[in-house]
Amino acid sequence: MISCQGLIFAPVPTLTGRKNRARGKEAYMYKVFEIEHGNVEEKALVSSYKVGEFELPAITVGETGRGRELGILAVEYPDFNPKTSFNYLKFARVEKLSSGKFRLVKADKQEDDSKAIIVFRTPIGFRGSNEHTGDRNPAGFYCSSCKKEWGELKPEEGDRYPGCPQCGLATFLKRKFLPFPGEILVKGKIAQGDAGRMGSGQQIVALVPKDVVFRTNLSGRLYGKPSAFYYIFNGQKILAATWDERQAFGLF
């Protein structure tokens, strides 16, 4: 068989070489993780994406169909075997193609622990959505109706918060979160129902910095699943915990 990778990727300039160095940006080898709302794997599944007669290695997020969007992140994977489902990526470089899209190149070790490549297979709650953010913002709460900021408010019982001190409506009161700290390499969209009308959410692959908290949050009916998980990459591992676990154990 002719190498399909050679055929497809040959015209693409490799950023590990001269072109990349010219921009002062080396393509380092990072650890790769996969996170499904609280569940962390130290590898990511590379699937086979069919382009004509070729089966090309790629990490895909989201899904195909109306109201949905499949995000495709090409992977250069020399020993890729489309016949098996055991093509995993543990380390990779990030390259930018001339199209402006990113691709990953399989590597055999971690060279730079300042960032990690993370595949977020974040689900959505029933008839709900999801979000990827940074840590809780110390600025506390704001009201999406009267636009006032209220600082930290105490929960009444359990996880329930009082209403906006001005409007009195709890539904308008939202906690502020810092923006998602990672650089997004590709985005996809999952959904429920015809044309995604019942609910939809994002799945992403991102380059996430070390020692910075990030979070996945689900809305909709969760059937007992925690709505939010907080994470931190310490250079080697990713720790996942709920807010209560972070508080109880004094974690990050």
Contacts to Zn ion by CB under 5 A:
143, 145-146, 164, 166-167
First to last CA, the chain: 50
The overall longest dimension of the chain from CA atoms, in Å, is 70
Least distance from Zn ion to the Cβ atom of residue 139, Å: 15
Distance of alpha carbon 228 from alpha carbon 205, whole angstroms:
19
Cα torsion 148, 150, 151, 157 to 10°: value is -140
Closest to Zn ion by CB, 114 or 144: 144
Closest to Zn ion by CB, 166 or 236: 166
Closest to Zn ion by CB, 164 or 240: 164
Q: Please list, residue by residue across 228-247, b when 16 or more beta carbons sit within 10 angstroms of its beta carbon and e when fewer do.
A: bbbbbbeeeebebbeeeebe
Distance of alpha carbon 249 from alpha carbon 252, whole angstroms:
9
Closest to Zn ion by CB, 142 or 230: 142
Q: Are 114 and 26 in contact (CB under 8 A)?
A: no
Distance of alpha carbon 135 from alpha carbon 214, whole angstroms:
5
Residue 75 has a CB neighbour count (10 Å cut-off) of: 23
Closest to Zn ion by CB, 142 or 229: 142
Closest to Zn ion by CB, 156 or 194: 156
- β-partners of residue 201 are 190
Least distance from Zn ion to the Cβ atom of residue 169, Å: 7
Least distance from Zn ion to the Cβ atom of residue 163, Å: 8
CB proximity list for 7: less than 8 A, separation 6 or greater: 54
Least distance from Zn ion to the Cβ atom of residue 166, Å: 4
Least distance from Zn ion to the Cβ atom of residue 129, Å: 22
Distance of alpha carbon 192 from alpha carbon 71, whole angstroms:
17
Least distance from Zn ion to the Cβ atom of residue 174, Å: 10
Closest to Zn ion by CB, 26 or 156: 156
Least distance from Zn ion to the Cβ atom of residue 164, Å: 3
Assigned token pair, 84 = 């098996």
